[in-house]
């Protein structure tokens, strides 16, 4: 009887592992649930343990809005009333209102806000994933790629969240620098750039949409910030399409910085704030963001290449060198096959360019397609 129980338990355990670990669908679902849970718990403004606790003369990191009607002594706060705007200095009356809002909202809405953001993020992921998988031919839905994008997304949002608290600390000592300076400095576009480097353009665009929506949500639903990050992500991905050397990433960062600055100027003009000190600082931050993005991507690219087993164009360029040990060995042991591989590589590269495929990948693949003939060089010399 005990043997039967052990056999049933073993079969059940094997089946569950196959369903929840080995199946790609289950892996995608598990990744989505974990990412949604992390975003909801760690980043929701009213539930995060990293939320700022204001005191008099502090600078507000974001707009503070009342979720309901509140009465504090002789002070009456209407529902959806913004009691303190982003960048404003906290006064004694403002601090009283903030404390009242915190006392009113956290006990009642904490346990609703977390699942609310969880389901919002899950629906966002599911909708974009379903559309992209069914309509974008080259969209990647591999669990490895989804895990990579999940790590990049969490890292970008964590960096954005941390910079908001850096803004709170820095503005106390440097009140001339607005809090939006640090927001525009956040290299969220680095995620889309790396997704384009490692995967493809279609997947990078979808990632840029997700990261920009969530970034704007974490900053109080700011549409301008979402647009800034979305356009920046698209530009970053576009400029590294044919990246065959690391200097291309730096050039992409410079172009991204210029576009970021133009977006900020457009936003400032739209809000009649073009000739203000804040506009100047944020424009500088936008350009610096492009440079920071390029530096981060350049530094992290080798790490993710090794960790996830990706092969970028830069890696392919290294493999195409004629002094590569395998190619040198092939040239010595089977020179006929070596010459054949070089000729076919040139032909395939031209064919790939004509159909807008990856010519470098095609050429390098042909260099190594007969590499096994090196083991029987007498037959293929």
- Span 218-230, pLDDT tens digits: 887 788 889 999 9
Q: What would the pLDDT profile of 29-57 be if each residue is shown by its tens digit?
A: 888 888 888 888 776 554 443 345 677 77
More confident call, 96 vs 294: 294
The domain segmentation of the chain, as residue ranges, is 2-308, 320-380
Asked if pLDDT for residue 265 goes beyond 90, the answer is yes
Mean pLDDT check: name the lowest of 89-98, 99-108, 355-364.
99-108
pTM above 0.85, yes or no: no
CA–CA separation, 125 and 141 (whole Å): 12
Query: What integer pLDDT is reported at residue 50 of this predicted model?
Result: 39
Rg (CA), the chain: 26
How confident is the model over 271-284, as a mean pLDDT?
Answer: 86
How many residues appear in the chain? Answer: 381
β-pairing verdict for 64-65 and 75-77? unpaired
Asked if pLDDT for residue 105 goes beyond 60, the answer is no
More confident call, 295 vs 163: 295
Quickly state the pLDDT bin for 85 (edges 50, 70, 90).
Answer: confident
Query: What integer pLDDT is reported at residue 49 of this predicted model?
Result: 38
In the chain the first and final C-alpha atoms are separated, in Å, by 66
Quickly state the pLDDT bin for 200 (edges 50, 70, 90).
Answer: confident
CA–CA separation, 209 and 223 (whole Å): 13
Asked if pLDDT for residue 261 goes beyond 50, the answer is yes
How confident is the model over 120-137, as a mean pLDDT?
Answer: 90
CA–CA separation, 196 and 198 (whole Å): 6
How confident is the model over 79-87, as a mean pLDDT?
Answer: 73
> Residue 328 contacts by C-beta under 8 Å, 6 or more apart in sequence?
322
Quickly state the pLDDT bin for 327 (edges 50, 70, 90).
Answer: confident
Query: What integer pLDDT is reported at residue 244 of this predicted model?
Result: 72
Query: What integer pLDDT is reported at residue 189 of this predicted model?
Result: 92
Query: What integer pLDDT is reported at residue 150 of this predicted model?
Result: 92
Helices 223-239 + 189-198 axis angle, to 10? 30
Query: What integer pLDDT is reported at residue 283 of this predicted model?
Result: 92
Query: With contact defined as beta carbons under 8 Å apart, do 251 and 264 qualify?
Result: no
What share of the chain in percent tops pLDDT 90?
23
Asked if pLDDT for residue 303 goes beyond 80, the answer is yes
Asked if pLDDT for residue 154 goes beyond 80, the answer is yes
CA–CA separation, 119 and 195 (whole Å): 25
Query: What integer pLDDT is reported at residue 294 of this predicted model?
Result: 93
Evaluate the CA torsion angle 232, 238, 241, 245 in order and state its sign.
negative
Query: What integer pLDDT is reported at residue 48 of this predicted model?
Result: 40
Going from the C-alpha of 317 to that of each of 77, 312, 351, 363, 375, the distances in angstroms are 63, 9, 18, 10, 25
The two structure tokens encoding residue 332:
């010595």
Query: What integer pLDDT is reported at residue 380 of this predicted model?
Result: 54
Asked if pLDDT for residue 204 goes beyond 60, the answer is yes
Query: What integer pLDDT is reported at residue 257 of this predicted model?
Result: 94
Quickly state the pLDDT bin for 171 (edges 50, 70, 90).
Answer: low
Query: What integer pLDDT is reported at residue 193 of this predicted model?
Result: 93
Asked if pLDDT for residue 187 goes beyond 80, the answer is yes
Going from the C-alpha of 173 to that of each of 59, 91, 350, 366, the distances in angstroms are 10, 17, 59, 60
Q: How many CA atoms lie within 13 A of 369 on its CB side?
A: 14
H, E, C per residue of the chain: CHHHHHHHHHHHHHHHHHHHHHCHHHHHHHHHHHHHHHHHHHHCCCCCCCCCCCCCCCECCCCEECCCCEEECCEEECCCCEEECCCCECCHHHHHHHHHHHHHHHHHHHHHHHHHHHHHHHHHHHHHHHHHHHHCCCCCCCHHHHHHHHHHHHHHHHHHHHHHHHHHHHHHHCCCCCCHHHHHCCCCHHHHHHHHHHCCHHHHHHHHHHHHHHHHHHCCCCHHHHHHHHHHHHHHHHHCCCCCCCHHHHHHHHHHHHHHHHHHHHHHHHCCCCCCHHHHHHHHHHHHHHHHHHHHHHHHHHHHHHHHCCCCHHHHHHHCCCCCHHHHHHHHHCHHHHHHHHHHHHHHHHHHHHCCCCHHHHHHHHHHCCHHHHHHHHHHC
> 113 pairs with which residues across the strands?
none
């Amino acid at each position: 009887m005990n043997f039967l129980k052990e056999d049933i338990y073993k079969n059940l355990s094997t089946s569950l592992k196959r369903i929840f670990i080995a199946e790609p669908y289950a892996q995608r679902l598990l990744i989505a649930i974990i990412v949604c849970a992390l975003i909801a718990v760690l980043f929701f403004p009213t539930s995060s343990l990293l939320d700022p606790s204001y005191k008099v003369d502090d600078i507000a990191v974001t707009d503070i809005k009342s979720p309901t009607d509140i009465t504090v002594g002789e002070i009456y706060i209407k529902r959806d009333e913004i009691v303190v705007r982003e960048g404003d200095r906290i006064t004694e009356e403002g601090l009283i209102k903030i404390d009242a809002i915190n006392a009113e909202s956290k006990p009642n809405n904490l346990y609703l806000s977390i699942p609310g953001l969880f389901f919002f993020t899950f629906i966002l992921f599911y909708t974009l994933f379903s559309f992209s998988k069914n309509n974008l031919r080259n969209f990647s839905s591999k669990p490895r790629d989804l895990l990579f994008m999940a790590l990049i997304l969490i890292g970008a949002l964590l960096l954005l969240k941390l910079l908001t608290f850096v803004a709170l600390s820095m503005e106390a000592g440097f009140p001339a620098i607005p809090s939006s300076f640090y927001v525009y400095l956040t290299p969220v576009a680095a995620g889309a750039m790396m997704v384009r480097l490692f995967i493809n353009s279609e997947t990078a665009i979808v990632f840029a949409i997700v990261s920009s929506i969530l970034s704007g949500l974490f900053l109080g639903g700011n549409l301008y910030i979402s647009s800034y990050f979305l356009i920046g992500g698209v530009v970053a991905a576009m400029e590294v399409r044919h990246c065959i050397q690391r200097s291309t990433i730096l050039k992409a960062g410079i172009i991204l910085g210029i576009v970021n600055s133009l977006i900020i100027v457009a936003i400032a003009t739209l809000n009649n704030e073009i000739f203000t000190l804040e506009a100047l600082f944020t424009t500088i931050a936008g350009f610096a963001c492009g440079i920071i993005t390029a530096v981060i991507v350049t530094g992290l690219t080798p790490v993710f290449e090794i960790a996830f087993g990706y092969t970028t164009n830069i890696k392919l360029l290294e493999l195409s060198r004629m002094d590569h040990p395998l190619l040198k060995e092939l040239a010595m042991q089977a020179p006929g096959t070596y010459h054949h591989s070089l000729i076919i590589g040139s032909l395939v590269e031209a064919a790939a360019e004509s159909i807008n495929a990856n010519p470098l990948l095609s050429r390098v693949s042909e260099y190594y397609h007969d590499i096994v003939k090196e083991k029987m060089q007498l037959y293929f010399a």
